[in-house]
Structure 1
Amino acid sequence: MLARTHLEIRSTSAMSSLIGFSKPEAELVVQPSPVHLQLARPAVRHNAAAHFRRYFAAFEVIADFATIILAVTLGYFIYYRLDLGKHIHYPAKAVVGVASGLAVIIILMLDRVGAYARGNSLLRVRETEQVVRVSAQAFLVAFAVSFFSSFLFSRWLLVITLSLVPLLLFVQKNLMYLLVRKLHSKGYGIEKVLIYGSGHTGRRVYSVLRRSPKLGLDPLAFVDDNPDKVGASVFEMAYERRRPASVVQGPITRELVWQYGADLVVIAIPSAPHAKFIETVQEVLAANARVSFVPGHTLLSDAWVGYEDIDGVLLASFSKSSRWMGYELAKRFCDFLISSSLLMVCSPLLLVLAVLIKIDSTGPVFFRQLRVGQNGRRFKMWKFRTMTSGSPMYQYSPNVSSDPRITRIGRFLRRTSFDELPQLLNVLEGSMSMVGPRPEMPFIVEQYKPEHKQRLRIKPGITGLWQLSGDRASRIHENIEYDLYYIQNRNFFMDLAILLHTLVFAMRGV
């Protein structure tokens, strides 16, 4: 069983993650109980993709440095334009020195939280979380230092500057994302990938890799032990711009890896027998390629499991997570503050939408439906009505906007997610949170498997990782990896990052 596997890497460098056993000259010891198995890992080949990642990481650091300098300079300009610095003048040389020092400190802090690690992105939320977290920490440190420093420093300038830093870094990192997508689309920095397993999990891995060109991971083919599946092709209609992937005969061998020139093999068989898993890892490492795997749900729900992701493909590592004791209290306070503020600010919009719903079709303005929340407690969830009043209350909601049951104003509400705004009332009363897994209807929860019930450990939310993903067309519980990742790793800064990305999505009408 995978959950009982102990992985240990002895190397002169830091411990590599389970995303890929890729540290050079490292000795990997896999200790399945009661058998002891030792694998010698050959040095990883330094291909063009590795050089691309190295150079692009350096470019990213330089871009961050320049962006922080720009933020300080712009803050300095705004400070004087607002006439806040009547009695204090800072020489240009001093401003450049402070900006450079601040840039170095923030970059070191970003590096420490893993902002420059490959595969760092989870729908780009993690980068945003790290930027917001580090900027807040830098602000607190700088603000504290300003009280004890003999150097006369305006705190207004500090507030303006360190407010611009996360904003400009957010914009810059989104531009970097577009740039790396463009470079990968032209063939720069591409790594070849074999996916072991052509079932549901394997096809999801393939789909995510195809939709995430930032990674530079090119799935060449599926490998499957079932001869009945050999020869089939997978074609991702919505996103595919290159060749489809075919299914070839397994199992994974070093010769097969060499034949395709694969740099990475993804084991996408969560229920693989332990012996088979170890054998496959052995063959991949012997072929001097990297290996990653999609773990089984019994492993995912284990309290000792931490998560790594490749832009939404979640992989497991064994680590004990901890939760800040005041997090839940702070989150409830923020939920109350945000929901009450938004209800007041959006009240004119809510009134207009209510009138339009009434004019568009007969029936109530609001739609209240029974949902299952934290620890299985049931509550009535508020939404604007988007379907005709005679539609059944408890069945899967249609994903196609052309469904005749959806009203004209309902199509607009669904496209902009404005139909979710009344759920601010649920957040205000405490049955929901701003960020969390989406609540589902009782008849769906009654069919939950044990792994799906993990979603009920925390309060459901209006938005979350699943809503930001490319898998929103699928059923909520079919993409449980996103919810499990959030449950295991949630923190205040991740919540802020998810809310920021949700705002961007809403403005784009997604």
Structure 2
Amino acid sequence: MNPPLNPHVAEDNFPLPLSSAIPKPEGRRGLRISNYATPIAFVFDFLSICLGSIAALLLYKALGGAHTGNETLNFLAFSVQYGLAFILFGKIHALYSYKHNLLKVRDTAGILRVSAFCFLLLSVESLFSQIAIPRLLLILSCALITLFVLFEKHAVRRLLARWKAKELGERQVLILGSGSEARRLFSFLLNSPDLRLQPVGFFEDQESEGSRVVYSHDYRFKDHATVYTGQLSLEFLRNLKISEIFMADSSLSPQKLAEISHLAAQHSAPLSFVAPVQVPGIGTPVSFRVMDGLFVTSYSGPHESSFGYVVAKRILDIGVCLCMFLVSFPFWIVAALWVKLSSPGPIFFEQERIGYKGKPFKMLKFRSMYIDAPKYGRSPEDSRDPRITSAGRFLRKTSLDELPQLINVLLGQMSLVGPRPEMPYIVSDYTLHQKQRLAVPQGLTGMWQLSADRKYAIHESIEYDLYYIENRGMFLDLAILLHTAAFAMKGI
């Protein structure tokens, strides 16, 4: 395998929405899966809801729940209504639009939102109509139906996307540039196979030592493409069988752009531009227009959280932390003894971090290194690092050394979900652009922690934090917590 290019950027990437830049594939007559993707998704959603209901009923019986024949019939009727309501609300909330989003957390957030609306609506209906359904059965069905739908919907989306891609065929795409915008575009195209655009490589004018690759944004470093260098030519485009070219390099001169445009025309390859339009520190771009040949970007002010969201997020933080503390309390005792016996020194490691709006606080961890290790030294990248204690190897590998940060969350210094807090000397060198990540409470987990980029410095992967800040909401927080739980269970 080619040696990896450090796939991190210090600049944000808000490219031109690609749905407007990518040509629509030409349709063909005849029976095609892509023409029936939405009805197929409807059927799978309804079936998964029915299966989740049956599983909830069986579990309710296994737990010794008493029920009558009428209660069972009422519950089955409830499940059918839920399935129909889910499809209706799902259509309204664009669950069937199949648009790519970073790490797919917004997909999960949308499913959670629609599920909550359905259960709220039908619970109110059952209350006023006095339909006899045991409360425990409703709670079990709420949990199991949601889990069944989450698993089914992500699986079916991947399946339908592959079917669409096979029907339409693929066009080879070359991306000019290898920075922030190029990587975001690469990730988008890889996760949108129904667009039938396959990115096969990156191209840069400047020569470099050795071969490089750029990885997509994902949970692990897996999908990647080679960065080619040198002089772009017709022969190169023909050898790679390039059908379309995307320009994602803002540093090229007008003369170079003209040369590339001429070359693309000679090769009969459409040329699309992805412009870096984010201006640090002034807000988020909300519209893109072409006015008399000029590319015009309009910005909104900072996205402020609603009072309701702030209160609900705090309630979630406290509730989940207390539950986690009660469940993990025996481990706290074991970990404390193990840390104390493995090396002399305190049980907890305290390190100053910068929190919400730049306020410093002491972040807690179970101590995983010897007491003489530099407090603000570079974090170990290998479990064999001599600074790590025997207890620390296990704690760091399982991320259980972070567990004491539940105390920071309970004290209000952190939240369960948010950008990871950084050390003062790093924050002191932040640009205006990077300081945007301090506009929300710092978190125990977040999108950066889920991504493969967690292996590198936090501030080098700011696109994850800015994506979260722009799209944050209660259901997105719940989605990130669910992805974190799945992430932990997979042992990634």
TM-score by length of 1: 0.75
The one-character-per-residue Cα deviations of 1:369-393 (angstroms, maximum 9, x if unpaired) are 0111111111110011122221111
Once residues 298 and 397 of structure 2 are traced to their aligned partners in structure 1, the CA distance between those partners, rounded to angstroms, is 37
How far off is 1:188 after superposition? 8.8
SS of residue paired to 2:380? coil
How far off is 1:211 after superposition? 8.3
Alignment match of 1:417 (pick from 389, 399, 406): 399
Task: Give 1:130-141 correspondences, 5 Å limit.
Answer: 130-141=110-121
Q: 1:155 to 1:350 in 2, by over 3 A?
A: closer
- Counterpart in the other structure of 1:71: 52
Once residues 217 and 388 of structure 1 are traced to their aligned partners in structure 2, the CA distance between those partners, rounded to angstroms, is 51
Task: Give 1:382-421 correspondences, 5 Å limit.
Answer: 382-421=364-403
Task: Name the Cα RMSD after superposition.
Answer: 4.4
Alignment match of 1:293 (pick from 263, 274, 278): 274
- Counterpart in the other structure of 1:353: 335
Contact 1:270 1:296 in 2 (8 A): no
The one-character-per-residue Cα deviations of 1:90-144 (angstroms, maximum 9, x if unpaired) are 676x766654442232123223323233343431322221221111111100011
SS of residue paired to 1:462? strand
Contact 2:25 2:168 in 1 (8 A): no
Contact 2:243 2:269 in 1 (8 A): no
Q: Which segment is superposed worse, 186-195 or 106-115? A: 186-195
Task: Give 1:421-432 correspondences, 5 Å limit.
Answer: 421-432=403-414
Q: Which segment is superposed worse, 497-506 or 474-483? A: 497-506
The one-character-per-residue Cα deviations of 1:322-343 (angstroms, maximum 9, x if unpaired) are 7432111221122122223322
- Counterpart in the other structure of 2:464: 482
Q: 1:372 to 1:472 in 2, by over 3 A?
A: same
Contact 2:175 2:202 in 1 (8 A): yes
Asked if 1:115 corresponds to 2:114, the answer is no
Once residues 83 and 90 of structure 2 are traced to their aligned partners in structure 1, the CA distance between those partners, rounded to angstroms, is 10
The one-character-per-residue Cα deviations of 1:456-491 (angstroms, maximum 9, x if unpaired) are 111111000100111111210111111111111111
- Counterpart in the other structure of 1:4: none
Q: 1:345 to 1:161 in 2, by over 3 A?
A: closer
**Structure 1 counterpart of 2:52, which letter?**
A
Percent identity (aligned)? 35
- Counterpart in the other structure of 2:180: 201
How far off is 1:505 after superposition? 2.0
- Counterpart in the other structure of 2:306: 324
Alignment match of 1:444 (pick from 412, 417, 426): 426
Asked if 1:125 corresponds to 2:105, the answer is yes
Once residues 366 and 190 of structure 2 are traced to their aligned partners in structure 1, the CA distance between those partners, rounded to angstroms, is 32
How far off is 1:64 after superposition? 1.8
Asked if 1:142 corresponds to 2:134, the answer is no
Q: How many residues align?
A: 460
**Structure 2 counterpart of 1:166, which letter?**
T
**Structure 2 counterpart of 1:456, which letter?**
L
Q: Which segment is superposed worse, 326-335 or 416-425? A: 326-335
Q: Which is bigger in relative contact order (C-alpha 8 A, separation at least 6)? A: 2
SS of residue paired to 1:412? helix
Contact 2:177 2:202 in 1 (8 A): yes
How far off is 1:75 after superposition? 2.9
Q: Which segment is superposed worse, 330-339 or 268-277? A: 268-277
How far off is 1:428 after superposition? 0.9
Once residues 441 and 458 of structure 1 are traced to their aligned partners in structure 2, the CA distance between those partners, rounded to angstroms, is 16
The one-character-per-residue Cα deviations of 1:18-53 (angstroms, maximum 9, x if unpaired) are 132168xxxxxxxxxxxxxxxxxx7643499xx776
- Counterpart in the other structure of 2:17: 18
Q: 1:256 to 1:318 in 2, by over 3 A?
A: farther
Q: 1:45 to 1:174 in 2, by over 3 A?
A: closer
Once residues 361 and 294 of structure 1 are traced to their aligned partners in structure 2, the CA distance between those partners, rounded to angstroms, is 54
**Structure 2 counterpart of 1:326, which letter?**
G
List runs of 5+ in structure 2 lacking aligned partners: 1-14, 289-296
SS of residue paired to 1:117? coil
Q: 1:185 to 1:21 in 2, by over 3 A?
A: closer
